Structure formats: structure tokens, C-alpha cells
Chain A
Amino acid sequence: GAGVSQSPSNKVTEKGKDVELRCDPISGHTALYWYRQSLGQGLEFLIYFQGNSAPDKSGLPSDRFSAERTGGSVSTLTIQRTQQEDSAVYLCASSLDGTGSYNEQFFGPGTRLTVL
């Protein structure tokens, strides 16, 4: 079946512009996660959605970052007034049910964001 998809695969933007990154999780997966990997760094958690519960936003690095998940499916990560330090690969993952923590997360191919 179809895996997690993300778009765009690459995004180059100028400092100060807003960007939107999209994630389509696996159908039926109730949990959705955003992570990023900056150059030379490990994978960093950003935000987690579980069903209709309020999202866990504890990993968002600043108030320029926000995310929403519409209809319990597609998610959009928005970065406002991008800075060069926002350059990273942004990964989305989904899992069948986030409540057990035993469920493996299935990752998308990522969006490589470059802020000039």
C-alpha cells in the first residue's frame, strides 16, 4: 500500500519568506509526527498529533513554527519568516496508534528545506 508522502521534496526559499510543508500519512494511521534533521545534528522531534487530542507541540523551536492536521489526515507544517537556521530535512511519520508507544513509526521521504 501507499506509504507516507511528503511534498515538496525540495524547497529553496529566501530568508524571511513563509513556507508550507505537507504530509500525507498512511491511511488509517491516527498518529502523525514531524521531525527535522539539521546538518550535523540528529533527528529532532517537533510536534505530534494523536487523533482529535490537542497536539504535543513541545518540540517546536519557536513561535514561527506551527502545524495543523485537517480531518485527522493530512498535516501541514508552516514556518513563518524563515531563517537560515531553519534549513534542514523535515520528516513526517505516522503510526497506527500513538497511545501505546510500541507502534513503529513509518517515515516519509522528507522535505529538504534550504533558506538562502
Chain B
Amino acid sequence: ILNVEQSPQSLHVQEGDSTNFTCSFPSSNFYALHWYRWETAKSPEALFVMTLNGDEKKKGRISATLNTKEGYSYLYIKGSQPEDSATYLCAPILTGGGNKLTFGTGTQLKVEL
């Protein structure tokens, strides 16, 4: 069983605050890491697919970094807006594990005015 941990479990921030959360996964046999955003009543939406140690990806105010040697990824949101409120999920893929995503339980973000 692939152990994927995300922290914090939930987070409440004010509009304009910057925030970050963590995804931890086994560092051995790493292949790729997916980040998804899941808004209430919508489908999960892919944010990033990361593969290389030291990778940094950015989409608007959201960015992510990857450390495959120590087995973690950070997701950052700069200047949070209410529309950023969602559950953020990470899912690593290990070599030999096929293409199925093993999701963490997510970080639930609530951005308040």
C-alpha cells in the first residue's frame, strides 16, 4: 500500500494571504506526482504533473515544487482568493505501479473574505 500524507488536513485563510501545503510520499521508485484541485460539486481538475527532482511548476498564483530524494512536494498559493477554496489532492505514481493514481486525503482550503 502506497502511503501518501497531506498536511494540513484543512486550512482557513483570509483573502490575500499566501499559503502552502505539503504532500509526502515514499521516495523510492518515484515516477511522477500529480496535483489536483477538487472544488465542491465539480470534478477534480489537474493542476500539475511533476517528474524531476527540483521541478518547479507554476500556473497563475499557484506553484509547486518537488523533492524526490526526500519524498515531498509543496503547493503554494500566493494572494489567496475565495475561488481558490477547494480540496487540493496529490497523487504519486511509483515505477512498476502502473498508471493508477494513489491519492492523499487532501488539504481542504477555505479562503474567507
Chain A residues engaging chain B, CB cutoff 8 angstroms = 3-4, 31, 33, 35, 41-45, 48, 50, 56, 58-59, 91, 93, 95, 98-99, 101-110
Contacts and interface: CB of A to CB of B under 8 A. Distances in A.
Looking at chain B's contact residues, is the secondary structure mostly helix, strand, loop, or mixed?
Answer: loop
Contacts, number: 62
Interface string B99-111: 1111111100000
Contact of A42 (B46, B93, B98, B103): B103
Interface of B: 31-32, 34, 42-46, 49, 51, 89, 91, 93, 98-106
Given A102-B49, A105-B34, A45 B101 contact: yes
B103 A31 contact: no
Shortest beta-carbon contacts, A-B, top 10: A104-B46, A107-B43, A43-B103, A42-B105, A98-B99, A45-B100, A107-B44, A101-B93, A101-B32, A101-B99
Given A4-B43, A91-B44, A110-B43, A105 B101 contact: yes
B14 to A, nearest CB: 27
Nearest to A59: B100
B44 A43 contact: yes
Contacts of B89: 42-43
A99 B31 CA distance: 12
